[in-house]
């Protein structure tokens, strides 16, 4: 077992998975909220933009998006997300492209989770907000979104769990996370494979199980009493 940790840097792969998850979680929460606001907007053009975003990215395979972030965005279009003179350029650039791809993909799910949260809010809340003179933006910020987030804790948690596991797709562009470690074990020391698979599975359970428990607890605690 020690070879797994020494030779195949299990812990640094685990840490990479956590970094991908956290980066994309923050990114997709922000981008997803923006897309949700577009979809809730009274302006038809903005609604169309929001709807198109969700329909495009929710219906595209994540592998395609991650590959495209590297092969199209960087290789063909020359989008660089790290200092190209840095000795660590490829690692940093690929990591950031992977976070970008994961963000863009999961933002569509965050948007839809938030919209399901909006559906838990009675229409009268928005009417009351408007009737005291709040603008559309103020109603969203003060009344609708705070209640939508509370009503969307459980679907948002599901998205976070899915995101955690989906970080393994980053192996396709050479990010050294858990799946990349498994690939390396397969090539270099297949005898360790059983162990490596079990430990990797365990590592993901360790990451996602607390999220599931926290979400159930928070979902109840934060629910808006009506």
Partner 1 sequence: MTQPTSDGRDPLVVVSGLNKHYGDLHVLKDINLTVGRGEVVVVLGPSGSGKSTLCRTINRLETFEDGSITIDGKPLPQEGKSLAELRADVGMVFQSFNLFAHKTILDNVTLGPIKVRKMDKKKAEELAQQLLQRVGVEKQANKYPAQLSGGQQQRVAIARSLAMQPKVMLFDEPTSALDPEMINEVLDVMSGLAKEGMTMIVVTHEMGFARRAADRVVFMADGEILEDATPEEFFNNPRTDRAKDFLSKILTH
Q: What is the binding site for partner 1 (CB under 8 A)?
A: 42, 122, 124-125, 127-135, 138, 142-143, 146-147, 150, 224-226
CB of 146 to partner 1, least distance (A): 5
Quick one: 99 or 145, whose CB is closer to partner 1? 145
CB of 117 to partner 1, least distance (A): 12
CB of 171 to partner 1, least distance (A): 42
CB of 119 to partner 1, least distance (A): 15
Quick one: 42 or 78, whose CB is closer to partner 1? 42
Q: The tokens of 103 are what?
A: 């963000």
CB of 218 to partner 1, least distance (A): 14
Quick one: 77 or 132, whose CB is closer to partner 1? 132
CB of 46 to partner 1, least distance (A): 14
> What's the chain's Rg over C-alpha atoms?
20
DSSP the chain: -HHHHHTS-HHHHHHHHHHHHHHHHHHHHHHHHHHHHHHH-S-HHHHHHHHHHHHHHHTS-HHHHHHHIIIIIIIIT----S-TTSTTHHHHHHHHHHHHHHHHHHHHHHHHHHHHHHTTS-HHHHHHHHHTT--HHHHIIIIIHHHHHHHTHHHHHHHHHHHHHHGGGGGGGT--SHHHHHHHHHHH-GGGHHHHHHHHHHHHHHHHHHHHHHHHHHHHHHPPP-
Quick one: 85 or 226, whose CB is closer to partner 1? 226
Quick one: 89 or 149, whose CB is closer to partner 1? 149
Quick one: 102 or 129, whose CB is closer to partner 1? 129
């Amino acid at each position: 077992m020690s070879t797994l940790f020494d030779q195949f840097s299990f812990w640094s792969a685990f840490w990479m998975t956590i970094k991908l998850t956290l980066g994309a979680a923050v990114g997709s929460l922000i981008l997803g909220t923006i897309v949700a606001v577009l979809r809730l907007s009274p302006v038809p053009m903005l609604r169309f933009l929001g709807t198109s975003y969700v329909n495009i990215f929710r219906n595209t395979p994540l592998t395609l998006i991650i590959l495209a972030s590297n092969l199209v965005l960087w290789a063909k279009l020359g989008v660089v997300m790290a200092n190209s003179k840095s000795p660590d350029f490829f690692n940093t650039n690929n990591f950031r492209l992977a976070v970008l791809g994961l963000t863009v993909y999961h933002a569509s799910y965050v948007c839809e989770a938030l919209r399901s949260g909006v559906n838990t809010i009675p229409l009268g809340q928005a009417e009351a907000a408007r009737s005291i003179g709040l603008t559309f933006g103020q109603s969203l910020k003060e009344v609708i979104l705070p209640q939508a987030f509370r009503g969307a804790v459980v679907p948002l948690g599901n998205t976070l769990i899915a995101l955690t596991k989906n970080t393994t797709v980053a192996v396709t562009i050479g990010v050294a996370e858990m799946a990349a470690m498994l690939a390396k074990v397969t090539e270099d020391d297949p005898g360790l494979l059983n162990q490596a698979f079990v430990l990797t599975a365990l590592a993901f359970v360790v990451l996602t199980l607390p999220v599931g428990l926290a979400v159930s607890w928070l979902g109840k605690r934060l629910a808006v009493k009506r």
